[in-house]
Amino acid sequence: MGVRRTSGSMMRAAVGAVVVTAGLVAAAAPAAAAPLWPGGPDISLPGLPPAPELPALPALPSLPTVPQLPVEPQRGPANFATPAVNPSAGEVVGIAQPVILRFSAPIADRAVAERAIDVTTSAGDVPGRFFWFSDRQVRWRPDAFWPANTDVTVRAGDLTSTFTVGDAIVTTADDATKTITVTRNGAVVRTMPTSMGKPGHETPNGTYVIGERYRDMYMDSSTYGVPVDAPEGYRTYVEYATRMSNSGIFVHAAPWSVGSQGVENVSHGCLNVSTEDAKWFYETVQKGDPVVVQNTAGGVLSGYDGLGDWQL
């Protein structure tokens, strides 16, 4: 009897030992926790779905172009008082007219004065140049004739003045044919036979500029140093006289030389034409129109004649 009891106790003891042993094993090896990111193992994350395409935005309408304001040229300070200007404000002139500025006092530094002067046109940039006739007078002209039907604005110190260039009326007097041809804006409007300066009084070649016009006048050789009673002296009444040089060359009526016009030169330098042609010319051309004389034996008109700017 005692042996069976002892054996049962041992069995229970053995089972208990097994249980305890299992419990000790469990306590010695606890479950491992997943380490925190980023020290842990790589973990594959599920891929994100592609982003949906956004609809295209409509194009913005073009903004209207804002016109640029004209930029006034920069001028330097003036070293002169308000000058007199020719042509005068509002005047209509021809395509060869120079701009003439006259100062009340001598100009000591011409470069400073030029930097205080601007010439602009409604046709855009027109290149040109200055010419000093004295320390009180400077002239500016374009490198080529003004564009026809253009407004020209002159700014000089505190002066601002605008004149207008009219039609392009160009007169050509050719001694080879002894003919005057007048064009308006490129089209021939009249041809006239002429008689120019005779030997010893040949009309100079060059581009002249129309000046004053006289319905009638006396032409007097004493005004350029030849006495009226000298062999080549004269004092003659003429009609429809249009000045083309300050030295005394005119287009004028010369009914006494009609037989020579278109044939030979018999004048003292002027361009003789019939009374009818002289009247038409007087009524058609304007201040500043060019007269181009060519193929004479008279040399070249002086640029400092006063109406000979195109030789400079």
Instruction: Just list the catalytic residues.
Output: 252, 270
Burial level of 268, CB count in 10 A (0-12/13-18/19+)?
A: buried
Give the distance between the most distant pair of CA atoms in the chain.
Answer: 194
Q: How far apart are CA 264 and CA 307, in angstroms?
A: 26
268's enclosing H/E stretch is none
294: helix, coil or strand? strand
What residues pair up with 237 in beta bridges, in sequence order? 218
In sequence order, what are the residues at sequence separation of 6 or more whose Cβ sits closer than 8 angstroms to the Cβ of residue 155?
A: 73, 75, 117, 118, 119, 120
3-class DSSP state of 76: coil
Q: Which residues contact 128 (CB under 8 A, 6 or more apart)?
A: 119, 140, 141, 142, 143
Sheet holding 92-93, edge to edge: 92-93, 159-165, 150-156, 117-121
Contacts of 126 (CB under 8 A, 6+ apart): 119, 120, 142, 146, 147
Report the alpha-carbon angle 32-43-49, nearest 5. Answer: 145
- The owner of tokens 């010419």 is 131
The one-letter code for the residue type at 205 is N
